[in-house]
């Protein structure tokens, strides 16, 4: 059975005090309500990583992750954070390829391939984001587009490496817009992603990789998306900034 995972992507929100308050509340609520079969990953800004890690329970079902890492393990890259540095403070996961970094910072497939490699070599579990724009969807090219994203950023990985990753499908046109695809559209894309992985690495590996949905997923619609057979959890943005709404989403996955 594939892991069930819900990821909280705080993006560039919450100062130090606010972040500790939110993390504390989420952890308290999850401790009371969630079966340990659901893995929860908190992705706060870098300033919170060490402090929130110290709040995590010993049960091992709540993890800390980073929203980004540099493509090199060390060097003269002012202002950047290396994957080994993240691992050294107890970080378990790292987000790679989020559409906001692709769009605003120009991160392309070759760069993301490097990030995937350095993350895995540093002991981090990467969450690789993929998804199409509104224009690509309207042209009917969404499956081809996402397959290309997967091939150009992931297919250099070995079987052992690909088995460690998480994939998050995030249609760009649904992120932070309030527009959501139909569950049938989400399932179709998740099935396409899994089939693409199977074609390269085999059905056993493809069936083991969690594929999350992200894009205006909230407490009201999460259960509908999570009911899709190839949806194994969610990458949650805005709705993760309130403890009650985020925990409600996590509970929807049980």
Tell me the average pLDDT across 137-156: 98
> Is 125 within the bounds of a domain?
yes
Instruction: Specify the pLDDT at position 37.
Output: 83
> Is 53 within the bounds of a domain?
yes
> Is 104 within the bounds of a domain?
yes
> Is 142 within the bounds of a domain?
no
User: For the stretch 105-118, what's the b/e string if a residue is b when 16 or more beta carbons lie within 10 angstroms of its beta carbon?
Assistant: eebebebbbbbbbb
Intra-chain end-to-end CA distance of the chain, in Å: 14
Question: What is the total count of domains within the chain?
Answer: 1
pLDDT grade for 34, boundaries at 50, 70 and 90: low
pLDDT grade for 92, boundaries at 50, 70 and 90: very high
Tell me the average pLDDT across 63-74: 99
> Is 254 within the bounds of a domain?
no
Catalytic residues: 98, 170
Residue-wise pLDDT for 171-212, tens only, equals 999 887 767 899 999 999 999 999 999 999 999 999 999 999
CB distance 215 to 180 below 8 Å: yes
> Is 186 within the bounds of a domain?
yes
**CATH assignment of the domain containing 232:** 3.20.20.70
Domain range for 73 is: 4-135+147-239
> Is 39 within the bounds of a domain?
yes
Q: What's the whole-model pTM score?
A: 0.97
Instruction: Specify the pLDDT at position 35.
Output: 62
> Is 9 within the bounds of a domain?
yes
Per DSSP, the residues of 84-137 read HHHHHTT--EEEE--HHHHHHH---HHHHHHHHHHHHHTT-EEEEEE---HHHH
């Amino acid at each position: 059975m594939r892991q069930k995972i819900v990821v909280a992507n705080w993006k560039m929100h919450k100062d130090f005090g606010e972040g500790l308050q939110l993390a504390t509340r989420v952890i308290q609520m999850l401790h009371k309500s969630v079966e340990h079969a659901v893995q929860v990953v908190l992705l706060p800004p870098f300033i919170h990583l060490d402090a929130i890690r110290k709040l995590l329970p010993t049960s091992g079902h709540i993890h800390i992750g980073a929203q980004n890492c540099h493509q090199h393990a060390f060097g003269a890259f002012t202002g950047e954070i290396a994957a080994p540095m993240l691992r050294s403070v107890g970080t378990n996961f790292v987000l790679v390829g989020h559409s906001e970094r692709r769009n605003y910072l120009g991160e392309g497939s070759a760069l993301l391939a490097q990030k995937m490699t350095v993350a895995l070599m540093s002991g981090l579990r990467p969450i690789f984001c993929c998804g199409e724009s509104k224009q690509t969807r309207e042209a009917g090219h969404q499956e081809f587009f996402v397959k290309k994203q997967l091939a150009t950023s992931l297919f250099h990985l070995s079987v052992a490496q690909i088995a460690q990753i998480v994939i998050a499908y995030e249609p760009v046109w649904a992120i932070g817009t309030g527009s959501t695809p139909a569950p049938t559209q989400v399932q179709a894309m998740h099935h396409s992603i899994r089939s693409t992985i199977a074609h390269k690495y085999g059905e056993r590996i493809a069936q083991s990789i969690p594929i999350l949905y992200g894009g205006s997923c909230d407490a009201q619609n999460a259960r509908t998306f999570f009911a899709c057979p190839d949806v194994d959890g969610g990458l949650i943005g805005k709705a993760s900034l309130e403890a009650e709404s985020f925990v409600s989403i996590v509970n929807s996955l049980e």
